[in-house]
């Protein structure tokens, strides 16, 4: 259940970013962080290749 919820949250964040007209351009596991190790607080970093 934790993995499923995490995947759903990732998809929701990606959808929101895309709806805002931004494409990350380099979305890898290295660019996804958990704030304070909490899987409910997902942070994307390194938007250097974003369009």
Annotated active-site positions, please?
A: 26
Instruction: Spell out the residues 6+ positions from residue 35 whose beta carbon is closer than 8 angstroms to its own.
Output: 41, 42, 43
User: Cα–Cα distances in Å, from 1 out to 18, 24, 29, 39?
Assistant: 26, 27, 20, 12
């Amino acid at each position: 259940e934790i993995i499923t919820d995490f995947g759903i949250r990732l998809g929701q964040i990606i959808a929101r970013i895309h709806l805002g007209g931004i494409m990350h351009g380099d979305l890898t596991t290295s660019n996804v962080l958990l704030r304070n190790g909490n899987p409910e607080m997902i942070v994307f970093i390194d938007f250097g290749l974003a369009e």
